[in-house]
Amino acid sequence: MFIRKTVFLLSVFVGLLLSAADGNLVQNGDFESGQLAPWKSAQAGNTLHQVIGKHLNITGDPANKYNKFITLVQPLPVLDSKKEYLLSARARAEVAQVNGKRMEICVREADAQNQTIDYRKFVVDLQEKDWMPYSLFFKPNAEAKSFALYVVTSGFAAEDTLKVDDIFLGFAPEIKGDETNLVVNGEFESPSLLPWECSQQSSGRRLHRLSGNTRFDKQCLSVSGDPENKYNQFIALVQPLPPLKPDGTYVLSARVRAGLANIKDKSFQINLREANAQGSSLQYVGFSVNLSDDVWKYYEKTIKPHKNAAQWQVYITSSGLDAEDEVLVDNVRFELEGSAARPFDPEASVAPAGAVKTLAQDAFVAEIDEGTGMLHSLKIQGRLIQPAAKNASVIAIESNGKELFLNGKGGGDDCGFSAEAVYDFADGMFREIVTVEAKQDFEDVVKIVVRHGFDPSQWSRHIDALRPLRLLPAGEPTIFSYSTEENDLNPDVWDTYQATAYPAIILESPEYYLLVGSRNLDDFVTLAPNYPANYLPSWQRNPKSVKTGQQFRFETNWKLFDRNEYMLRDV
């Protein structure tokens, strides 16, 4: 039955159950047999439980004196209190009037005298007309000696219909994030929202649920409101994060779709909450969602941890939403900036892909790899600026957390872009111009990067062309944008009230200043030294969308200044 049901929007849920089907402790939980056995219908409710179309069909009977508590029961083997279990099912309701009615699926735990200890349960939303997944993770009570599975209905009329399928009880699958994303289940592909939690659902209405209305994999988060809920002005779905690196720079991102008809006095935000060791809030940092956008939009915020923070949580917060409102959320990520890319190793020497062309003028000696059309190594005044090492020159496209590479001759990975690199000398500088062109449209943000490796051990610090200047150790990362672009994320991290003066960075050593930057002050660009580690210069463009034929220009100029002859102000 699982295979035949994949047409449902939440087919991923079925797929997850398929993977665990052999471990299902429930017999005939998919009702493929066409019979109820070994389920037992109690309280004279045998006419209210039927298998129709190979799923369980339940109705009510107000004339039945037990209609307030009708159960379908199956005994279970003894569960291990040291293990975590997953109870899950799919259900849909065709109920005209929901007041005074209830349905739940639960595991009854009893002691040695068969006295009830607890019911581990989830409640079916009777307002949902489509098939919806339900799940519960739990650890059995250590005092429990016997267990049974209950399907419980209360107060239904004869014309009401409840349908249930794919009831599963077994060991819980491990839920963990990917290698770089610190948010667990941020893609919402698990059968449960865990480890996300919400504390403001006192009205009983489910404000957060899984939905199949996404174009990113199979499931996403659906958020609605409830004006009857006294907390409706601040409803938060929360997940704790592991400790962050105090000197790290992180990116919080998500895809969101809203399209609310009425947005007055409503808001929706995704934030990083930072708290001190006592749990008191220090700040919320993140982004607000445009609730009038009825298309999927990508949102991103670059964040440096607060110096006094000791605890961190991701908050998905809604305010003032109505019951009929729906905000869809997917791909929530929190990761180190540049984590999709690998650090540069200046010691990992590599032979060029093709013949080497040498460009020499005055104190410059540049080797161009004719196989890739990119800079292989660079020396100025005999000093090695760019080592001839693996991935020393990179043109890359980052999308959906993955990085694909281009060369400077129009080739490389199939990523919807091509690039051309040109090298020459201009006004006493060595110059590189890289032009990246889109070969297709992109509806979501794309990161376009050009970067060059360096050896930070040969330099003391980098000086960023901000006003006032930013002075950082040579290997420390930072990010700032020169100018602003309406269709770009314009990532910035500020450590004081400052602004970008030039698209340039200076590397300083006891003997030299190395000036690296663009002389075209009309070009927008984001400067990201040491993103990833040991890359400087490292340029970015982060367009929110891209059209076929659109071009992105990156200009880099290198010039070395002897500190015996020049002061920093001269540079």
pLDDT tens, position by position, 10-29:
333 333 333 334 589 999 99
Q: Would you say residue 190 lies in a domain?
A: no
Instruction: State the sign of the Cα–Cα–Cα–Cα dihedral 241, 245, 247, 252.
Output: negative
Query: How far is CA 123 from each of CA 111, 191, 200, rounded to the nearest angstrom?
Result: 24, 15, 17
13's enclosing H/E stretch is helix 11-19
From CA 161, how far away is CA 158, in angstroms rounded?
8
Residue 558 shares a structural domain with residue 466:
yes
Give the C-alpha separation, 122 to 87, whole Å.
9
Asked if the structure places residue 63 within a domain, the reply is yes
- The CATH code of the domain that includes 363 is 2.70.98
| Domain annotation covers residue 423 | yes
Q: Rounded to an integer, what distance in angstroms lies between the CA atom of residue 416 and that of residue 515?
A: 33
Structure tokens belonging to residue 371: 């196989």
Q: Which of 171, 186, 218 is the last residue of a domain?
A: 171
Do 162 and 55 fall into the same domain? Answer: yes
pLDDT of 18 reads: 35
Find the CATH number of the domain harbouring 147.
2.60.120.260
Task: Output the average pLDDT for the chain.
Answer: 88
Structure confidence at residue 178 as a pLDDT band (50, 70, 90): low
Whether 113 shows a pLDDT value over 60: the answer reads: yes
Name every residue whose Cβ is closer than 8 Å to that of residue 195 and which is 6 or more positions away in sequence. Answer: 175, 184, 185, 239, 240
Distance CA 460, CA 445 (A): 35
- 343 part of a folded domain: no
What is the pTM assigned to this prediction?
0.57
pLDDT at 258: 94
- Host domain of residue 377: 356-562
**Residue 351: inside a domain, yes or no?**
no
Q: In what order do the strands lie in the sheet with 383-386?
A: 356-361, 364-369, 374-380, 383-386
Flag whether 52 is in a domain.
yes
Q: Are residues 404 and 527 in the same domain?
A: yes
Do both 163 and 19 map to the same domain? yes
Same domain, 100 and 206: no
Do 324 and 360 have their domain in common?
no
Does residue 511 contact residue 518 with C-beta atoms inside 8 Å?
A: no
Q: Tell me whether residue 183 is in a domain.
A: no
Cα–Cα distances (Å) from 234 to 207, 257, 269, 284, 377, in that order, read 12, 19, 10, 14, 55
Q: Which of 120, 38, 123 is nearest to 85 (CA)?
A: 120
Tell me the β-bridge partners of 91. 132, 164
Domain match, 458 and 500 both: yes
Q: How many domains does the chain have?
A: 3
Residues 370, 502 share a domain: yes
Q: What is the spatial distance between Cα 454 and Cα 443, in angstroms, rounded to a whole number?
A: 34
Based on the fold, state whether residues 309 and 394 are members of the same structural domain: no
Same domain, 120 and 263: no
**Tokens, residue 440:** 């297709």
With a cut of 80, say whether residue 70 has pLDDT above it: yes
Measure the CA–CA gap between 465 and 450, rounded to whole angstroms.
19
Yes or no: say if 514 and 456 are a contact pair by the CB < 8 Å rule. Answer: no
Highest-confidence range of 85-99, 324-338, 447-461, by mean pLDDT?
447-461
More confident residue, 204 or 429: 429
Q: Which of 346, 443, 437, 358 is nearest to 397 (CA)?
A: 437
Per-residue model confidence as pLDDT tens digits over 424-465: 999 999 999 999 999 999 888 899 999 999 999 999 999 999
- DSSP-derived pairing of the beta strands 49-52 and 55-58: antiparallel
* Nearest-angstrom CA–CA distance, 507 and 527: 14
> Are both 297 and 374 inside the same structural domain?
no
Q: Are residues 167 and 248 located together in one domain of the fold?
A: no
Domain assignment present for 281: yes
